[in-house]
Amino acid sequence: MSWQAVVLLVGGFVVAGIFSWLQHYAYQRTVNQVATEENRSGVVLVTGRGKGKLRGAVVLLVIDRRGKEVRRALAMRGASVFARFQERPELCGPLDGLADREQSKMLRKAIEDAVANFKRVTAGARPAVKA
């Protein structure tokens, strides 16, 4: 293998790493923004991930603890580092049957993961006391 091929290969890995870091930074920024906007009593922000061989999906759900209802939903799906979160108002509503409202297999897996995370987070939580 010539030195030009090695440089090209290393350059490709560096570019892929930079794009992956940028996508992670966009994910972190979106999660922080949603957490700031939805910071109020009685709601929980959970994430879920669905992984496939080539494609994947991530979902952010803002769930009302008391009514077990999704107040806000964002989803990111795709096979490249250029995927970004988009609002998904069709996922808002009751928590029961949430995964059934989505057509994409990977997004359905992500929703199921997020609902499992919600149940895990709220399992030991005491109900809110009204003063």
Total residues found in the chain within this entry: 131
Q: 63: Cβ–Cβ under 8 A, 6 or more apart, which residues?
A: 43, 44, 45, 46, 69, 70, 71, 95, 118
Q: What H or E segment, with its residue span, contains residue 104?
A: none
Residue spans of the domains in the chain: they are 3-122
- Report the 10 Å Cβ neighbour count for 113: 20
pLDDT band per the 50, 70, 90 thresholds, residue 9: very high
CATH among 3.40.50, 3.30.450, 3.90.1010, 2.10.240 for 3-122? 3.90.1010
Q: Are 34 and 103 in contact (CB under 8 A)?
A: no
pLDDT tens figures, 98-114: 888 888 889 999 999 99
pLDDT tens figures, 48-65: 999 888 888 999 999 998
Its pTM stands at 0.81
| Local structure of residue 88 (DSSP, 8 states) | -
pLDDT tens figures, 67-87: 889 999 999 987 777 788 999
